């Protein structure tokens, strides 16, 4: 079975039971020192029974992160190429229902932003778009990748899912990674949150990371939008998805991101609050369950919280982010996809990391390694 088929066989009610049942304190403490956790162990660490032992779990997460990643913290920045979107996701600031002005960067505007960010020192850029195949589709994204590779050794994408053949085009253009959030693994809720547009196809989105990996993309990022649903249920499914992808595509790099939702005006959907304490618990649980995968934290979170979480499991962080299309060089009052909470510059983040004893790294990969792998 493929990872998505394995995931589809997972019963939500069983996961609810595993993540919400009462566990004996001694059982939770035994998991903290266990060398390799099962999926059931991971669910126990997400449960309310694990909350009283968060200091012990966090210390173990810190130890495992240092063991597998040392003091390295990798930095990247996002660039929004377009906000044009035909989907009507009820929680998104770019959804078609809001009728915001469509902005699509032309090639000059792309390159101006690339030059600005490369001059700051970034070696990893994340390119983002809405889903508008006619205005900013595969041809547009492919061209954006080609132009970006003149400025950055590592280019990743956070765009709408495509076919395997289109992912091959992205890989051949120079894309190194893709990030594709399932948003929520609750199928019923997913359908209600995505009433119109291509994104309403749950299965096509779920299978996107596998298509990308088969196409030669070497790094895949997963995530849910925390707050859309029960965070314990979504986190368990996300962990299971990441685990199976890691087992099936063992030569690839699997990463997990932790965006918490920011409500938009008049959003017709209940937000399930994810407290800071719950946020720390789920990140630490991921580190204990999947000690070798990268864990990413964006500028959605506050400066103080990000400063603390880099000690407990986070390996990748964004810096100096702007969520408006072309916002680094293009003056605009247009709304971004969400408001950033940590507005420090790249140099400020680098200084903070150095002060805390970490080694900030501005690129994930070098073209040399691609050449070396092809010659072996």
Cα angle for residues 230, 310, 280 (degrees, 5° grid):
25
- Ranking 47-56, 186-195, 233-242 by mean pLDDT, the lowest is 186-195
Cα(143)–Cα(309) distance, integer angstroms:
36
Task: Sketch the domain layout of the chain as residue ranges.
Answer: 71-229+236-277+294-375
Q: Using CA atoms, how far apart are residues 368 and 372, in angstroms rounded to an integer?
A: 6
Tell me, what's the pLDDT at 263? Answer: 61
Mean pLDDT of 154-162: 97
Cα–Cα distance between 342 and 48 in angstroms, integer? 29
Q: What is the pLDDT of residues 86-139, one digit of tens each?
A: 998 888 877 756 677 889 999 999 999 999 999 999 999 999 999 999 999 999
Token pair 């909350």: residue: 51
Q: Which residues contact 245 (CB under 8 A, 6 or more apart)?
A: 3, 209, 210, 213, 220, 222, 252, 254
Q: Do the Cβ atoms of 298 and 254 come closer than 8 Å?
A: no
Separation of alpha carbons 76 and 346, rounded Å: 9
Crossing angle of the two packed helices 12-20 and 231-248, in degrees rounded to 10:
110
pLDDT score of 330: 80
290-337: pLDDT as tens digits: 999 999 999 999 999 999 999 999 999 999 999 889 989 987 666 556
Residue 147 CB partners (closer than 8 Å, separation 6+): 107, 110, 111, 114
Q: Quick one: CATH architecture of 71-229+236-277+294-375?
A: Alpha-Beta Barrel (3.20)
Give me the residues paired with residue 74 across strands: 316, 361
Res 375: pLDDT: 42
* pLDDT value, residue 364: 64
Q: pTM of the predicted model, to two decimals?
A: 0.93
Torsion of CA 178, 183, 188, 194, to 10 degrees: -90
| Alpha-carbon span 298 to 275, nearest angstrom | 17
Q: Specify whether the CB–CB gap between 210 and 252 falls below 8 A.
A: no
């Amino acid at each position: 079975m493929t990872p998505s088929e394995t995931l589809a066989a997972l019963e939500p009610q069983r996961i609810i039971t595993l993540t919400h049942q009462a566990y004996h304190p001694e059982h939770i403490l035994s998991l903290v020192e266990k060398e390799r956790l099962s999926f059931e162990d991971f669910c126990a660490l997400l449960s309310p029974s694990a909350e009283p032992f968060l200091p012990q779990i966090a210390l173990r997460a810190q130890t495992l992160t240092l063991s597998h990643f040392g003091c390295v913290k990798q930095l990247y920045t996002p660039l929004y190429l377009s906000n044009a979107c035909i989907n009507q996701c009820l929680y998104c600031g770019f959804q078609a229902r809001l009728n915001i002005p469509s902005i699509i960067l032309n090639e000059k505007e792309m390159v101006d932003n690339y030059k600005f960010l490369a001059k700051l020192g970034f070696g990893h850029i994340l390119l983002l778009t809405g889903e508008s195949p006619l205005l900013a589709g595969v041809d547009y994204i492919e061209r954006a990748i080609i132009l970006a590779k003149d400025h950055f050794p590592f280019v990743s994408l956070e765009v709408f899912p495509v076919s395997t053949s289109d992912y091959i085009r992205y890989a051949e253009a120079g894309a190194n990674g893709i990030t594709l959030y399932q948003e929520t693994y609750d199928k019923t809720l997913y359908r209600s949150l995505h009433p119109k547009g291509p994104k309403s196809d749950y299965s096509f989105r779920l299978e996107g990371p596998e298509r990308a990996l088969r196409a030669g993309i070497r790094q895949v990022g997963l995530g849910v939008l925390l707050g859309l649903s029960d965070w314990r249920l979504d986190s368990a499914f996300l962990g299971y998805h990441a685990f199976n992808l890691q087992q099936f595509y063992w030569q690839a790099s699997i990463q997990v991101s932790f965006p918490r939702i920011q409500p938009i005006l008049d959003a017709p959907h209940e937000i399930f609050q994810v407290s800071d304490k719950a946020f720390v618990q789920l990140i630490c649980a991921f580190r204990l369950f999947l000690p070798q995968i990268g864990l990413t934290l964006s500028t959605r979170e506050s400066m103080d919280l990000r400063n603390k979480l880099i000690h407990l499991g986070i390996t990748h962080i964004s810096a100096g982010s702007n969520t408006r299309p072309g916002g680094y060089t293009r003056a605009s009052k247009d709304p971004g996809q969400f408001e950033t909470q940590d507005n420090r510059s790249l140099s400020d983040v680098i200084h903070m990391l150095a002060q805390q004893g970490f080694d900030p790294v501005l690129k994930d990969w070098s073209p040399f390694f691609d050449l070396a792998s092809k010659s072996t």
